[in-house]
Amino acid sequence: MKRLLGFLLVVAFLFGPIFIWAQEKPHGELKERKKGVHSGNQIRTTFYNTGFIGRKSGAPNDYGVEFPINSGHTYVGDADLYVGSEVLVHGAVKHIVVTPDGPEAGARTGQRGPGGEWFTWMPLPGYSNPDSNSVAMSQLKWSWPAFWPDKMAAATDPGWPGSWNGYFGKNIFNADQESYYVMDDYNDKEFAFYPDSTDSSRGGLGMKVTSRGLQWSNALVQDAIFWLYDIKNIGTSSYAKMVFGVMVGNMMGHSEKGGDDYTDDNAAYDLNTDMAYSWDFDNTGDTGWTPVAWLGYAFLESPGNPYDGIDNDNDGQNGPGPTITTDMFKPVTLNAGDQIVVIDYNTYKRTVTTMPSDSLVILFNGSKKVIKPGQILKEIPNNNFDDNLNGIIDESDGSQIEIAPGVYRNVYLYVGLKYKNYITGEGLDNPMIDERRDDGIDNNHNWDILTDDVGLDGVPNTHDFGEGDGRPTSGWQPGPNGKLYDTGEPGEPHIDKTDINESDMIGLTSFYNFQPFSFVPLSDDRKIWKYSTPGYLNAALQDADADFMFASGYFPSKPQQIERFSMAMVFGWDHDELLRNVKWVKEAYVNNYNFAKAPYLPSLTAVPGDNKVTLYWDDKAELSKDPISGYDFEGYRIYRSSDPGFNDPTPITNGYGSKTYIKPMAQFDLVDQYKGFSPVPVNGVEFFLGKNTGLQHSFVDTTAKNGFTYYYAVTAYDHGDSEHGIPPTETSRAIAIGASGLVVSIGTNVAVVRPEAPVAGYVGPNPDETGLKKNEGNEGTGHVYVKIIDPMKVKNDNTYKITFLKNAPKSIIPEATRYAVINVTDPANPDTLLDVPFMVVSSDGDTLVDRSLDKEGRDFFDGIQLLVRNDWKVKKIAQYSGWYPQPDTAYMISFAPFDFSGIKPRGIDYPRDYELIFNDDLTGRSEALTVYQNGVPITIPSQQTNFTVLDPATGDTLHYAFIDNPMRPSFIKAGYFSNLDNIVFFEQKPDTSFITWSLSITGNDSSAHHPGTGDTLRILTTKPFKAGDAFLYTSKGAKVNYQAAVRDSSLNRVRVVPNPYVVGATWEPPNPYSNGRGPRELHFTHLPPQATIRIYTVRGDLVATIEHNSSIYDGTAVWNMLTKDNLDISYGIYIYYLEAHDASGKKIGEKIGRFAVIK
């Protein structure tokens, strides 16, 4: 009852904001127009929040669907989403088609009004950061708005402030990249048509579009990008015939270098896969590059038609119901008394009745249709009306296409599909005919009570409405009037909003390949409508500079109705691979995109050195939880390349010969049951899981060479789930270069670095361990190791306290659970740099991080790598335990947790040191101790002993019991330490007592030394760090010794590299976006920190002057080989004069040298 009351309060809350927003009437505005870039896998493209994918004319930094990323090969100029409908304007039939603004290139420009205003899609405000120019992207938190307007009605956390508005739910980052925006057609004022009777200022059709782009780096879909559109009728008008489509500016074989290979483009369609696709005729790009990939546009979800009585998406083929045949299209005569089906076109409710004797009147689209008995009836395609009164709407949809002069072909869309026979009842019980996603019903019965019963918000363990109630909870719920309304929440998995199979999708229904591109202008509603007619499938034009369009329709739309339209752009290196990739894409769609997700991206830092590069990264990837496999992190891979496309590493091809993976230069994995090759292949290739090397979080590449630019990536991967056929998944290597050849965006796990020698006179930071001191009073016996990992970040004369925190609350043994690093250079203002637990355990009990297993440190601060070796296992320290002084013949001792056969309790290996002080007399006394044998108490009595037991650190007397060997020789008195005696130690705490160790004595009483006054037996144990233990570390930063910098031995190390310079140095990378070589470079190395280099011709003419004033870590100056007048230099011999300065600019040394530039 309490939960029901709470939900009713939520409903009341929801309807308030809905009413307020209805009055505010937000709409699209030109000032909100922004763009974004998707680059989350092998595809990169610019897109705008106006329904336009591609690049604007005159925008050199836009990308037109580039594949592979950083190749400069662009396949699409523009892809434009359009929505159209047939309407009545002052009694005349008109066709309104809403399009984007487009690339704004000639005819490919959206409709504009007489004053230049846009009659196109425009973005709504509030769906991105108003202070940025970017569309909201999941990986760019700065691009998000403060709150989301479409989540103000959310039952929990209205507006979702600070959270990602994800397709999969609040803050659920299933995709590697996700974009989100909302647009509408408010500004389309071309016709005097008003779709909303409550708002006369609104134009268009009253449609609002919620748009998402999704990318995954998963190997199965790394060549695809998904586009999802939810199109909602927010007006008051109903439409009988609507169409959704895309117009594409084809650019197969185009590159930014060449710019022209448009004349041999091909495009076609495949109704079996609901796909339009394009390819290059000769498989050769504009500069001779090959192969040219094939690009498909696969319909994953098209608008549903839950009203026509037809199984449009063919997912009910295994269920009951008859099949459509061409016989149904033949004319019929219905006489009075014949059974007919009458449709109410407001509700689409069917009524089975008989033909009246006079006439039948049906209201349709604002007019009356009169049908008389005996009249010949024939189904007319594409009119959205049941002409033959069988209850099925437009079963004969199709077109007649002229495929050659005078040669025509009839195309029917629905022949072979199941339908509902309303007269006989056949098919009425097939839930997959006319299914929908807003009916509150689990149509396909795939909701799973074990995994999906998570409540209205779609997130487990929030205890919200519907969670754990044993019933599917939809995002559509009954309101006070009993009608379903949109709660603003996703609902549980596999029902309505979260189950894309619950839509009777129409699929691809039209295709047209045309030229020139101006033949169907983006502003021509009439032509776009004409060539989007269902069944118009014309791919006759081939091997030409042609564009194409494809669409899905017709279907009706009522006020507040939502239709979903999604497609994937999919690449393949040939037609067969395209079809295979489309198969994987559709499989991902069928599973609601819930395939395995790669771990979180590591955060990588790259440190240039002298002919080396040091990499180090964090461990957040190890905390990743896969939406399917759970916590399945397995390891890290390291890649290096001289180009941003990572083309240097050896490619690993699949069974079809296509590159699927690349070979890493290093790999580190957990020590567990997962090693070798994964048992689940990806297209015939098995992912290598590693060799159980153990994890590392740093790596030094000693094969790097000074002066070369390297691209490094550290990826994280999981082990997959062989039981469920899920292969391993690896994070992407996210890096993007722009038209200039420079990096414009880079993932956290990628670094660009150029190793160089440090400056002359460089003195590095203090070596490892120097300056590390253990605090007095520390009890832990473990070790702390520090290592200089990033010299540039090491601070000079900074003091750090490495302290241990928070003893385990329920543990008898005092052991810290965390440690922290605090900068205490200024004692009044301590700065905590690290505070981490030894172990991270998930809510499911999975150990995600265990620092006790680390081979090297995973924690970094101020350029220092920290490793804590804790003594978790308490045991005797043999090298520090024994007799003092050491007798010639001593008793042997055994020290272990108390464990006598049949005796309880067992002793605890407690961290305690013991010192047995012996005396010639019985000066000590043991304590009585009760133990249990088979539940029967046995008391070890107190007695005098010739020793006492002390804590060697504090001098405190410790508790012990003494089991005196009753079989001792007569010359060994009772209470004296001898063969077969046992000392049992125990602890007495305020609230408990417990037995710890047993010390057993063995030896020959006749020959062994009998300990007495002056003898001591000391037992020291290892101890874990406890709260309060600490170390201090003082760092010394790098510096320059200027005297050493200008010694002859130092200046003689100055080099010009390469010398001679021949045509182009190997470190000058090519730019894939421009012709010719990359920028020319000559490097002066091993320079002092401050220096002036003057370059002369052999005749003494000054060519250029280089001022070198660098950090102490970079002793290299790079010359662009241009003169002081910014001209290219000539080939020949050049002289350089180096003048070294100190920090004040005073000259302290010089050197003269020469170099050659030759062809």
Q: HEC profile for 92-144?
A: EEEEEEECCCCCCECCECCCECCCCCECCCEECCCCCCCCCCECEECCEHHHC
Do 46 and 139 lie in a common domain? yes
Rg (CA), the chain: 39
**Looking at residue 1096, which CATH number applies to its domain?**
2.60.40.1220
pTM score, whole prediction = 0.75
Q: How far apart are CA 548 and CA 108, in angstroms?
A: 12
- What pLDDT is attached to residue 313? 83
Q: How far apart are CA 872 and CA 883, in angstroms?
A: 26
Sign of the Cα pseudo-torsion (922, 925, 928, 929, in order): negative
The domain boundary residue, chosen from 731, 753, 775: 753
Backbone conformation region of residue 535, classed left if phi is above 0, alpha if psi is from -120 to 50, else beta: left
- What pLDDT is attached to residue 871? 93
- What pLDDT is attached to residue 16? 39
CB atoms within 10 A of CB 142: 10
Q: How far apart are CA 508 and CA 527, in angstroms?
A: 18
Do 822 and 967 lie in a common domain? no
Question: Which amino acid makes up residue 184?
Answer: D
CA geometry: angle 1139, 1141, 1142, nearest 5 deg: 165
Answer whether the bond into residue 905 is a cis peptide, omega within 30°.
yes
Do 857 and 908 lie in a common domain? no
For 649, list phi and psi in degrees, rounded to 5: -60, 150
Q: How far apart are CA 613 and CA 604, in angstroms?
A: 12
| 426 lies in some domain | no
Do 246 and 294 lie in a common domain? yes
Is the distance from CB of 727 to CB of 1005 less than 8 angstroms?
Answer: no
| 679 lies in some domain | yes
- What pLDDT is attached to residue 777? 83
- Eight-state DSSP code of residue 290: -
The token pair at 489 is: 């929440």
Q: How far apart are CA 500 and CA 498, in angstroms?
A: 6
Spell out the residues 6+ positions from residue 594 whose beta carbon is closer than 8 angstroms to its own. 174, 493, 627, 628
- What pLDDT is attached to residue 14? 38
- What pLDDT is attached to residue 12? 39
Q: How far apart are CA 921 and CA 1014, in angstroms?
A: 12
User: For residue 336, which of 377, 373, 290, 298 has the smallest C-alpha distance?
Assistant: 373
| 370 lies in some domain | no
Do 887 and 995 lie in a common domain? yes
The token pair at 681 is: 């292949």
Q: How far apart are CA 253 and CA 95, in angstroms?
A: 35
Do 11 and 98 lie in a common domain? yes
Do 904 and 949 lie in a common domain? yes
Do 617 and 584 lie in a common domain? no
- What pLDDT is attached to residue 1065? 56
| 788 lies in some domain | yes
SS3 state at 875: coil
Do 75 and 14 lie in a common domain? yes
Do 1069 and 1009 lie in a common domain? no
pLDDT tens across 824-849, in order? 999 999 999 999 999 998 887 888 89
Is the distance from CB of 654 to CB of 667 less than 8 angstroms?
Answer: no
| 398 lies in some domain | no
Looking at the 3D structure of the chain, how many domains does it have? 5
The domain boundary residue, chosen from 1019, 1050, 1072: 1019
Q: Give Cα 954 to chain centroid, integer Å.
A: 55
| 334 lies in some domain | no
For 527, list phi and psi in degrees, rounded to 5: -70, -40
Sign of the Cα pseudo-torsion (468, 470, 476, 482, in order): negative
Q: How many helices (H) and strands (E) does the chain have?
A: 5, 74
For 1012, list phi and psi in degrees, rounded to 5: -150, -155
Q: How far apart are CA 531 and CA 510, in angstroms?
A: 7
- Eight-state DSSP code of residue 759: -
SS3 state at 967: coil
- Eight-state DSSP code of residue 907: P
| 865 lies in some domain | yes
Do 674 and 780 lie in a common domain? no
| 377 lies in some domain | no
The domain boundary residue, chosen from 555, 590, 625: 590
Answer whether the bond into residue 602 is a cis peptide, omega within 30°.
no
State which residues of the chain have pLDDT below 70: 1-24, 259, 402-405, 594-595, 739-741, 769, 1048-1049, 1063-1079
Do 213 and 263 lie in a common domain? yes
Q: How far apart are CA 203 and CA 27, in angstroms?
A: 11
Q: How far apart are CA 700 and CA 440, in angstroms?
A: 57
Structural domain for 802, as ranges: 765-873+1030-1035
Task: Give the CA distances from residue 1027 to residues 557, 610, 676, 868, in Å, rounded to whole numbers and listed in that order.
Answer: 67, 41, 41, 14
